Chain A
């Protein structure tokens, strides 16, 4: 058998079915005219197809059988209804649900607003809109005068005890859960250990610790000198954050409005004129809303961790 015959053989079945493309059919036709073997092959398959078509006995059943079958099938469906009980339960539950819903609606209908106030359907959207606008206008005012945080855990910081520019307040009992100072030991054994923050080249240490009302106020200084640095470092769980402090002899008047430290990623915005914790919180929130790209990770640093006199707002550059 030639290679051409092999190719044709694969097409013969489709050829006798008439499902080949015109070109393929023409190829087969031209080939079988020149090849006796393939010609016989095609002829035999055509005869086979003819035999199957005309001499194959297709099974058929009597009408009686079909009638019996339909009856049996119906019985079987009824008997083996998979969820007859389930369906009854489901229907009962649904019915009960609707009844309950109806009763609830009927009960709440006694208290519906429209029974007491006449509101036309057409003007209802305007009422809703007006109410929404009123709420939007009133919310800042309400938050200013009635803050959500009523200061139950607030601490009054003795202004004389702490230098405003160099202190950080870390609540002792919650220190372990916060970013700032979390690496530090704030328990009683701490006295024997000098906690430090490694910023790469310089080692900063915490000194002058004071515990006021459960808060530790600390400053950082360089290992190499006693001079109070103008930069303090805190290590967040993921981020190294910088806090710039005014120089030792600096006064509030000398500070510019926005003393921003630039670093690789972060800067600190100095919040000025902070007098109370509440005020610091307000300023903090205001700055938060003003600056885009604010690092929300760093915003999670609680305000309690900063001294009330000076608040630092961290801004992602």
Chain B
């Protein structure tokens, strides 16, 4: 946590609302990325983002300096996203949810179709779709660990802290997720791409 961030947090603690904007600017992409990947929907991600930053604004006085602000924010964002997905899943019929293609996957496919090099990019784009679909097909708990570890680059200890579980649990979930992904992506592990 650099000094500027520390000052912003201190200002926010004292009720200075203007200190929130720079923090949002700094972390908006991270929170958005996380929210979309967990909820698999940009509209839902928007809700999660709002809830996350409102929670940051209201609970900043509970932030202790024993963890970095980033880890604290990760914890809030992940928990908000997980809770959102759980609430949503309870509301919606699970059959519709699983049958329908996630908006995130369709976005990935769309971006693949508009790629410049039709032939060369086609394979890679198709592979991107499959990889994204494979990740999205993982159970929520395993997907969350994969996202945090593989894409956000967090350590096992940090993930354990964010998810409030043991490092062993994180390792176990990660191992299970990788094995599942290996099975799903086995057909695409040829020499040309890997």
Contact = CB atoms under 8 A, between A and B. Distances in A.
Contacts of A44: 182, 186, 189
B contact face: mostly helix, strand, loop, or mixed: helix
B127 A58 contact: no
18 contacts: A12-B175, A13-B174, A13-B178, A47-B185, A51-B127, A51-B185, A51-B189, A52-B181, A53-B150, A55-B131, A56-B132, A56-B150, A57-B111, A57-B128, A60-B33, A69-B28, A70-B24, A76-B54
Nearest to A43: B189
B162 interface: no
A73 B108 contact: no
Interface size class of B (residues with CB under 8 A): 35 or more
Interface of B: 17, 20-21, 24-25, 28-29, 32-33, 36-37, 42, 45-46, 49-50, 53-54, 57-58, 104, 107-108, 111, 124, 127-128, 131-132, 135, 146, 150-151, 156, 171, 174-175, 178-179, 181-182, 185-186, 188-189, 193-194
Interface residues on A, range: 20 to 34
Interface in A26-61: 44-45, 47-53, 55-61
A110 B146 CA distance: 73
Contacts of B20: 77
Interface in A106-121: none
Contacts of B171: 13-14
A61 B185 CA distance: 27
The 4 closest A-B pairs by CB, nearest first: A59-B36, A13-B175, A55-B131, A48-B182
Given A51-B188, A61-B29, A73-B49, 15 more contacts: A10-B175, A13-B178, A44-B186, A47-B189, A48-B181, A52-B135, A52-B181, A55-B124, A56-B150, A57-B111, A60-B32, A66-B29, A69-B50, A70-B24, A80-B54
A49 B58 CA distance: 38
A55 B128 contact: yes
A15 B171 CA distance: 12
A69 B50 CA distance: 8
A269 B156 CA distance: 75
A48 B24 contact: no
A19 interface: yes
A77 to B, nearest CB: 6
A293 interface: no
A52 to B, nearest CB: 5
Nearest to A10: B175
Contacts of A151: none
Contact of A77 (B54, B104, B127): B54
Interface string A56-86: 1111110000100110111011001010000
Contacts of B128: 55-57
B157 to A, nearest CB: 10
Name A's interface SS.
helix
A38 to B, nearest CB: 13
A226 to B, nearest CB: 81
Contacts of A58: 33, 37, 151
A12 B108 CA distance: 31
A58 B194 CA distance: 19
A74 B21 CA distance: 9
A80 B17 CA distance: 13
B173 to A, nearest CB: 10
Contact of B151 (A45, A56, A61, A80): A56
A124 B49 CA distance: 62
Contact of A59 (B28, B37, B194): B37
A59 B24 contact: no
Contacts of B37: 58-59
A72 B36 CA distance: 18
A59 B171 CA distance: 25
A151 B49 CA distance: 78
Contacts of A76: 50, 54
Given A53-B150, A58-B33, A69-B50, A45 B21 contact: no
A56 B135 contact: yes
Nearest to B129: A57
B132 A72 contact: no
B178 A48 contact: yes
